[in-house]
Every structure is written in structure tokens, then in C-alpha cells.
Structure 1
């Protein structure tokens, strides 16, 4: 029987976030399978602290002051200290935003750095960036290509995107569906009875779920709802974040306070799915968004921007929802206005979400990590030489998905 794997997972904190929630659920599944899993934290705090799996080992260095203002740097220091002290077979990088942490570990630890498995959680083309920034971003991707070992795509279209954008061989990418749900949660969501609207409410009930952050482009969603919805339609926005004040001011300026509600951060979003008819998404970019999977499991069609190479597949090429161009407020407004014509999801459509369970993905991740752990570690000099050569090789041509060099308006 193979020896248990020793896995380290860096995360910022317990603040709400889909990447972190999935990482902790995977870690719990790996721990249940008998592996040694440590979650290395930048800050042992956050709104979702009470929801974090209690069967995991959380590791952080003590600090006399709050690390909230520099939690990423503190997480790097904690991970560096942990990897120096503890034998580790593989580091799991839970999403794109954590890639810089793992690159720094490779530079600091060199050959002592364990192999790194990176989950690509967001779109790599980043059409939302201005051309100059996009050029620098693609150089950064070249550094990742040289410094990191293997990449996880969340869908087959993303697999092709990673190979094309990073310029790597297909054997360095493995496709594993995003584990957004446990089997228990899928059963709960798919069994949710639709809650009928009150007799006086004849309109449609739209729902948006996620962090109130620039990536989600919620100003566009609010303007599209104001321009395309019918007078009796409502929108509930579940989530919190730095942009809440600006968004509430926009709702007030549009005189939509009676039809758009901010629910804030909630521990259990399932009741909101039960009371909704459609999920709305307006993101600049995503990977395979967990909220869309949750909505499909609950029977809600999704109206979204085409913010990822995986979205067409996720929405069944139109059978589970509607896609509009990123940043196109008129197209999103038109889709909202025609939402009443979109059929509700049947049992077969809802069952598609069952392919995104933790239980299925955890086994595939373990196989990928075991393969990585068996490889010899790189010689110190080869790492920086390969990084320099990778950057010097240039930037790949822009994707045909980036039709314009203009950044979408927020």
C-alpha cells in the first residue's frame, strides 16, 4: 500500500472565497483518505472560520500584531518556515492568486522546494486587462511555466487554454472538474423544492452570489438589470466586499432600492437558491464558477457573461442558460428581459452538477500529486535558467476571445 502523502496548502485566511472553500473541502477529503494535510495560514481569522473543517491541521506562526494588512507576505513567511521544518511531498496551490506564493517558495528553497500542483481557477487570457498590462501578465505566466510543475484545468476547454497560453506540453496539464459540491450538498441542492413567489409578486426573481469585488463587475449587472428587467422583477445580491458602498450608491442613483436587495455575507446560501428563478453573473473573468454549479444543481438557469473558456460547456451550449459577451451591458440587459422564455432545468440538466463533487475530484488530485511526488527534484541552477529562458521566449499572441484592446468598463 502506498505511503500517505504529506501535503501543504497555503491560504490567506478564512475570509469567504470559492477558491479557499474548495481547497479546504479537498483537504478534508484527503485527510479522511489517510494523508497528512497541513493548511498554512496567513491569518487565522475570517468570516468563514466557524465553517472550516474541524478535522484539519491549521498551521501559522504566532504574531504580536494583526497580520490582516500583510497576510500574503506573512503567509509566504509561514510557508517558508513550514517547508524548511517539515518534510513535504507536494504543495497544492489552490488557485491563480496563490501562484506568486509558490514561485517565491521555489526561488527561496530551490531544490528543497517540494513539487507544486497549481489549480488554474480563473481565465488565463484576461481580456479585461489593457494591452500593456496584458503583455506583462503573459510574461508572468511564462515565469509560472518555468517555476511550477503541473497544472490542473477545471474543464477540457481550459486544458487547451493552459497549453496554448503557457506554451507547455499537454502532459503537464491534468483535467479535474472543479469540486464545488460534496455529494451530500448536491443531494440537498437538487432536492430543493421550488418556493413559489407570493401571490402579489408576478415578476421573476434574479439572484447574484459572490464577493463584491471588481472581478465580478457588479456595476454592469446592476445597470443591466435596471435596463432590461420588468417592473415586477427583483434582484437579490448575496455576498459582501470592498465595493458594497459603491454598489449601493449606484442602486440608489438608479432608484432601484425597492427591487435590488443586498443580503450581505450569509453562511448558508441554499435558501436563496430556493427562492430564486435565475442566477445572474457579470464577471470579467472566472474559471469554472462554483456558484453556477450550485445554481444548476438547484434547478436555476444561468444568465452570464462569457467570462471563461469553460462557460459554454458548463451551460450545456444553451441548455442550462444563456451567455452574453463580457462587458456588454446591452446584451446582458436583453437576456434579462427575455428570461421568461428560458425553460426551467429538468432533472437531467440538474444532474450535470453531480460531476463536480469533492469525492470524485479528491481521488484524481491524489493521483496527480502522487505522480509529482515520485519525480526527482530540480537542480537549483536549472530553475532560474529555465525561468529566464522562458521569459525571453516572448509572449504568445492574444487569444481570439480578446476581440478588443479596450478594457471592459466597470
Structure 2
């Protein structure tokens, strides 16, 4: 079985990081896992993407980064025709438009597509006038793509309702954001307990984009934190300058630090006391899983149907309404650094390992491949050799 995974670039992103790890894991299991990357750019090329062979189109122009989805739609069909994969792995919602375009452009020559639903499908943040078009787009995905993977149990109903697909086209595979060795390292490397009288050490790990709503977090921190508390924001993105200015405007310099990109942000979590997440929407945030592995209490917005299940319906963290600054500030004020249930958080983290997910994904992909081949006329079946 030949699997082709396609990504925009090596720019930091949770979907991309997990996809690169999955490709690496499949290759370690002797799976023929191809990787297409639209642009040879991004910080992850030097860490999680290091030494991974990949296909990239030649002659990428200076405007490719701004129109990378159109660039992929233009270049990827040729790669599919040349490499003849048995199945396509669409690593997240961001890439659904590329997958649908491939189905349209290649017709019956397009391999079956497995879409990992990586983000909230309800999207209550969208303006009312756009919602009918968005719902139509979801139904188009359900019409054209072959199978869907949700990352946590509540996503089964979410995918069925929003995409209009039957339950036999949906599989739940806990998001492979962790590995068994990573969990062991995080548990073993937890920093010294916070000294009495020293402020709580809050941490956020996110790309600095509107989706993550870090401005809400900074304002809520200013309202709810104690004078000796600190907040470290790990990550980079287009909103960094604006957020740094907001920090200055609120008089929080020295208490709120923007640390920039980190090659392995999970490794830094044991040095902190509490994870904050303020997103407008998410799927199953990898950083929440990493915080569970590190044993941190979590304060987060209720930004997807899966969040309550992830946090054990209140046993592993505190959820507040999306966009509610006052509620987030109150949760920040009351959280205790030592409040996490060690055994429950560890058990929850162990569900989300790449070792567990890899075989589950391969099983679904194999079924898709077998079903597709059985429907093809004899002259269209591939003998396993690239064209």
C-alpha cells in the first residue's frame, strides 16, 4: 500500500507536526509513505521534518506562500498521476479543499481520500451570513471524500451531522499527538515544586493567529492573575507585534513573555504550573494532550465538542465559554497548580499516542484501498509499480 500525505510547507502547525510524525512512524513500519510538501520552507524542516524525504514542485514563485492552496491544486495532480498512490491522507480540515479539487480534477483516477477532521466543524465564531455557505461546503466534503477520522468520541456525531455522512464512513482514532517515550520524559522531567510565596507560572503554546485569541488570554490574565504570577507564550505568528503592544498597553511587561517558536514545546511544559488555552475553535488541541502528559492543570475555552471529554468533564481542567474574558479571568484567579489528578491525567494521555494510532490508521487506509481496487475495472488496477 502506497500512502501519499500532502502538506503546504514546514511552517509550524499542530496538524502539520502530527502528520510529519505519522509519516515517520509509517516508514519505520516499512510502509510506502510518500510526502508532498508545496514549499520547502518552515521551522519544522529542521526538527520534526529533519531527514524526511519529500516531493516538492520545482519553480515555486515568490507568491506561493500567499496562494499556497491554489499552488497545491495546480501542482499536486501531476504528482498523484506520476507516483500513483493507493490512498491519499488529508491531514486536516485546512487541506480539504485540495482533496476535493483532486477528486474533481482526477475523476475516477483519484485514489480514495481519508480526511482527518482536525478542527471544530460547528464554527460558532463565523458570521451569520457566511454559515449557509460553510454548511454547504461541509456537505460537499461529505459528498466527495471517502472516509473521515475524528480525534475523540464526540466527533463521531459531529462529523455525521455536519458532513451528512453515514456512521460507516466515520472512524474515531484518538489524536496521535503523543508518544509513549514522550509521556515518560514529561512525567520524569517535571520541575521542582513551586516555592511558597512564588507566583504561579502560566504557559500558553499556540501559533499567534486570530483563531487562538491570545489577546483575550492576555486581558484575562491581567484581570485574574496575582501580582507575582507570570505568563509565557510559546509560539510565533502574524499577531505577535500586536500582542506585544497589548501587553505594554496593559502594563504587563515582565509578567507576560513572548518566547517565540520552540522546536519541541512539549518538553518545556514541566517547568510551568498551569496551561492556558483561549481559542475560538479547535478540534482536539495537541497542547492540551501534552499538558495532560506533563501533569498540568488546564484552563481553557470550551472551543470544541471534544473539550469536556478531554478534560474528564471537569476532573482535569476548567472550561469557560468561548470569548468570555470575565469567566476566563475568574478561572485563572482560582486555579491551583497542584490540583491535577496524576493518575487520571496519565491514563487520559496514554490514549493519544502515535503507537496506538498508527496501526488504526493503517487498518482504515487498507480497507479504503481494498474497497477502491475492487470497484475498478481490470485495466485501471495498479500493479504496484510507479508509472
Q: Provide Cα deviations, 1:134-162, integer angstroms capped at 9, x if missing partner.
A: 22111100110111010001111011111
| Per-residue deviation, 1:350 | 2.2
In 2: Cα distance, 1:216 partner to 1:257 partner? 21
Answering whether residue 137 of structure 2 is matched by residue 140 of structure 1, we say yes
Q: Which residue of 2 aligns with 1:334?
A: 330
Answering whether residue 23 of structure 2 is matched by residue 9 of structure 1, we say no
| Per-residue deviation, 1:64 | 6.0
| Per-residue deviation, 1:250 | 0.8
Q: Provide Cα deviations, 1:62-116, integer angstroms capped at 9, x if missing partner.
A: 1164433333222223321111112211100000000000001011000000000
Residues 330 and 342 (structure 1), Cα distance of their counterparts in 2 relative to 1, 3 Å cut? farther
Q: Provide Cα deviations, 1:28-57, integer angstroms capped at 9, x if missing partner.
A: 111122211111111011111111345643
Q: Which residue of 1 aligns with 2:106?
A: 109
Q: Which residue of 2 aligns with 1:383?
A: none
Q: Which residue of 2 aligns with 1:242?
A: 238
Q: Which residue of 1 aligns with 2:385?
A: none
Residues 8 and 43 (structure 1), Cα distance of their counterparts in 2 relative to 1, 3 Å cut? same
Secondary structure of residue in 2 paired with 1:58: coil
In 1: Cα distance, 2:360 partner to 2:60 partner? 40
Aligned residues: 375
Q: Which residue of 1 aligns with 2:227?
A: 231
Q: Which residue of 1 aligns with 2:116?
A: 119
Q: 2:273 aligns with which of 261, 271, 277?
A: 277
Structure 1 residues not aligned, in runs of 5+: 381-410
Question: Do the aligned partners of 2:86 and 2:369 also contact (CA within 8 Å) in 1?
Answer: yes
Q: Which residue of 1 aligns with 2:172?
A: 175
Structure with greater contact order relative to length (CA < 8 Å, sep ≥ 6): 1
Q: 2:212 aligns with which of 213, 216, 221?
A: 216
Question: Do the aligned partners of 1:195 and 1:274 also contact (CA within 8 Å) in 2?
Answer: no
Question: Do the aligned partners of 2:296 and 2:337 also contact (CA within 8 Å) in 1?
Answer: no
Q: Which residue of 2 aligns with 1:312?
A: 308
Q: Which residue of 1 aligns with 2:183?
A: 186
In 1: Cα distance, 2:262 partner to 2:292 partner? 20
Normalising by structure 2, report the TM-score: 0.93
Q: Provide Cα deviations, 1:197-225, integer angstroms capped at 9, x if missing partner.
A: 467x6221110001001110111111111
Q: Which residue of 2 aligns with 1:352?
A: 348
More moved, 45-54 vs 107-116: 45-54
| Per-residue deviation, 1:168 | 1.4
Q: Which residue of 2 aligns with 1:62?
A: 58
Question: Do the aligned partners of 2:6 and 2:36 also contact (CA within 8 Å) in 1?
Answer: yes
In 1: Cα distance, 2:363 partner to 2:266 partner? 32
Moved over 6 A (4+): 377-380
Question: Do the aligned partners of 1:111 and 1:378 also contact (CA within 8 Å) in 2?
Answer: no
Question: Do the aligned partners of 1:180 and 1:358 also contact (CA within 8 Å) in 2?
Answer: yes
| Per-residue deviation, 1:376 | 3.3
